[in-house]
Amino acid sequence: MSLKIYNVLTRKKEEFTPLTPGKVNIYVCGPTVYDNSHIGHGKTYVSFDVIVRYLRYSGYDVLYVQNITDVGHMLDTGEDRILKKARQLSAGPMQVVETYTRRYFEDMDALGVQRPDISPRASGHVPEQIAMVKTLIEKGHAYEVDGSVYFDVSSYPEYGKLSGRIIEDLEGGARIAVREEKRHPADFALWKKADPEHILRWDSPWSDGYPGWHVECSAMAGKYLGHTFDIHGGGIDNMFPHNECEIAQSEAANGEPFARYWMLAGTLTLDGIKMSKSLGNTLTLRDALTKWRPEAIRAFILSSHYASPIDFSDTAVEASNKGWQRIWGAVSLVREQLRTAVSGDADPDVITLLEKTKASFIEKMDDDFNAPAAIGVLQELTRQVNTLLNEQGPHTQETLTAIDQLYRELGGDVLGIVPEQAESGANAEREEGLVRLLIDLRAQARANKDWATSDTIRDQLKALGVVLEDRADGTIWKLE
């Protein structure tokens, strides 16, 4: 079977055929950097992280571009999000942008999201955006009014093809002041003349001003991926108007198709309610990560298909966490047994099980990146591996290595939910050594029938969040 993708543009699940065989160019709308990332960002960017990881695992040479919006993204009130935050913090807008860009990468790193190949910033690509606006005016798709430039939606009959909206539906909504300046309420700003107090401003042929939000993605996607490229992604909230405007600008300016496959990630609600700052129900990734391991948050996000909505609640994350712990428990046990395993032939039955598991995992992921079903495959493998480890054995180094390797590949490289080791770095080694030392002392105490010491070690480790589990072949430990 080959990879199939649900294409939002055609509303069909289609076989994926890249423009250039073996190569995938993908663009995903990035964050507007004026605040900490919340778990909704986590859902979007973990979803595309797994999509990109799987494309790479499938052998594609992927070029992943995700922008940083640091200018021009206005609130419904007409205020610039970044300037508003800068006023609140009594800081310069570029300080705000730098602070939250760094935090975005820190949060995504913590969540195990691999960085895009290119993270272009809108403020660093103003000349490209001005060039695109010039082309649109020359080709009759845009017009200037008093230093601002608007895209003329009536000049592009395909406007609305992504979202299915038609121009007649778009009469309302626009603010009165802007509406007076535009020829049609659905026309959108490509360049805005800056008010005297507006700090983020650049020189242009029309006025001292700043670019509209939508034009940055068109200009930067075209610059790094070409006029026509394979996949465009983002959160479904941005389908209209943002993505719709991107298509109109790019195709009108270049006279060539824009992205060939559109993939949009579903929304995330918090306890059944859409997250909103005004309602006070937001959860930052930083806060979520103090409570849950990154792998548990990823497993939760991946428990629903990327295009589906998901509801974040403690109960739901706890359920995913339990499922994840079963997988991680089995992996830890495999690695534990590997320490003492001896070399020998790999068990052919186990190899067959692993081959079937891999084929089944690939089949699920090839079906529009069905991560929840792929996790189900790993859970089924885990059930069988637990039986194998607890009821049979000892197993050879080769058998255990093959099992560990498959978990590393599918659970680690593709889904990012199976870590390389318990924790990373020297601290992890020290932690492992200390817990091992206590496990050995406890084993000695038990051999001497010193139950009091044995219980104290177990209970005090538990109080520190380290759970010991006695098994036929020894004691293993895991974090609670």
Binding site for Zn ion (CB under 5 A): 29, 217
Nearest distance in Å: CB 222, Zn ion = 12
Q: How far is the CB of 262 from Zn ion (least distance, A)?
A: 12
Cα(26)–Cα(28) distance, rounded to whole angstroms? 7
By beta-carbon proximity to Zn ion, the closer residue of 254 and 396 is 254
Q: Looking at this protein, which amino acid is placed at residue 188?
A: F
Minimum CB separation of residue 373 from Zn ion in Å reads 29
Element (H, E) at 407: none
Question: CB-based contacts of 155: which residues, under 8 Å, 6+ apart?
Answer: 140, 141, 252
Joined together, the tokens standing for residue 330 give: 């089995």
Kindly tell me which of 248 and 381 has the beta carbon lying closer to Zn ion: 248
* In the complex, least distance from residue 243 CB atom to Zn ion, rounded to whole angstroms: 7
The pair phi, psi for residue 228, each rounded to 5°, is -115, 130
Output 65 or 438, the one with its CB closest to Zn ion: 65
- Cα of 429 vs its chain's centroid, Å: 30
- The number of residues in the chain equals 480
- For the bound state, the minimum distance from the C-beta of residue 234 to Zn ion, rounded and expressed in Å, comes to 6
**Closer residue to Zn ion, CB minimum distance, 66 or 332:** 66
Q: Quick one: DSSP state of residue 394?
A: P
Whether 66 and 119 have beta carbons less than 8 Å apart is answered as: yes
What's the min distance (Å) between Cβ of 29 and Zn ion? 3
When the beta carbons of 65 and 402 are compared against Zn ion, the nearer one is: 65
| DSSP-assigned states of every residue in 20-74 | BTTEEEEEE---B-SS--BHHHHHHHHHHHHHHHHHHHTT-EEEEEE-BB-S--B
Torsion-angle region of 149 (φ positive above 0: left; ψ -120 to 50: alpha; else: beta): beta
First to last CA, the chain: 40
Q: Which residue, 125 or 298, has its beta carbon nearer to Zn ion?
A: 125
Minimum distance from residue 135 beta carbon to Zn ion (Å):
19
Three-class DSSP category at 228: coil
* DSSP states along 114-135: PPPSB--BGGGGHHHHHHHHHH
The least CB distance from residue 181 to Zn ion, in Å, is 24
In this complex, which beta carbon is closest to Zn ion, that of residue 217 or of residue 327? 217
Instruction: Give the residue with the Cβ less far from Zn ion, 45 or 324.
Output: 45
In this structure, which amino acid lies at residue 300?
F
By C-alpha distance, which of 65, 212, 225 is closest to 149? 212
- Residue number with CB closer to Zn ion (18 or 212): 212
User: Closest distance between Zn ion and the C-beta of residue 206, in Å?
Assistant: 22
Residue that is written with structure tokens 């509801």 in the block: 311
